[in-house]
């Protein structure tokens, strides 16, 4: 469905749900999720409907994932770094008051 327009020579490796994935440097976590083939990031708290990256500019919050142990991170706003650990969240994590 998605393909890269330009091939970058520099790549790095991250894990998505403990599966290694090699990506061009400068990619966002949302781009990595889309490229992985399983685009679902989380499920809605009320109905349990699947959510995936949608707006890709930080407005909709549909791309929330856990990054390096930190829940509720917007995947579209985070650039991948070597060794990053991304996990999909079944439901958004509660936010402390």
Instruction: Please tell me which residue, 81 or 44, carries the higher pLDDT value.
Output: 81
CATH 3.10.20.740 fits 11-87, yes or no: yes
Q: What's the CA gap between 79 and 31, in Å, rounded?
A: 9
pLDDT of residue 39: 85
Q: Where are the domains of the chain?
A: 11-87
58 is written with which tokens?
């930080």
- The pLDDT tens digits for 63-87 are 999 999 999 999 999 999 999 999 9
Phi, psi for 77 (deg, rounded to 5): -105, 0
Instruction: Report H helices in 1-97.
Output: 29-36
Q: Residue 14 gets which letter from DSSP? A: E
Q: Contact 65/75 with Cβ under 8 angstroms?
A: yes
Arithmetic mean of pLDDT, 36-65: 88
Mean pLDDT of the chain, nearest integer = 87
């Amino acid at each position: 469905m998605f393909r890269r327009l330009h091939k970058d020579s520099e790549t790095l490796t991250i894990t998505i749900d403990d599966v290694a994935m090699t990506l061009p440097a400068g990619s966002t976590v949302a781009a990595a999720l889309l490229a992985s083939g399983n685009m679902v990031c989380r499920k809605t708290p009320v109905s349990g409907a699947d959510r995936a990256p949608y707006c890709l500019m930080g407005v909709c919050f549909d791309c929330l994932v856990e990054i390096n142990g930190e829940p509720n991170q917007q995947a579209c706003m985070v650039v991948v770094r070597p060794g990053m650990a991304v996990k999909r969240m079944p439901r958004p994590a509660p936010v402390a008051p």
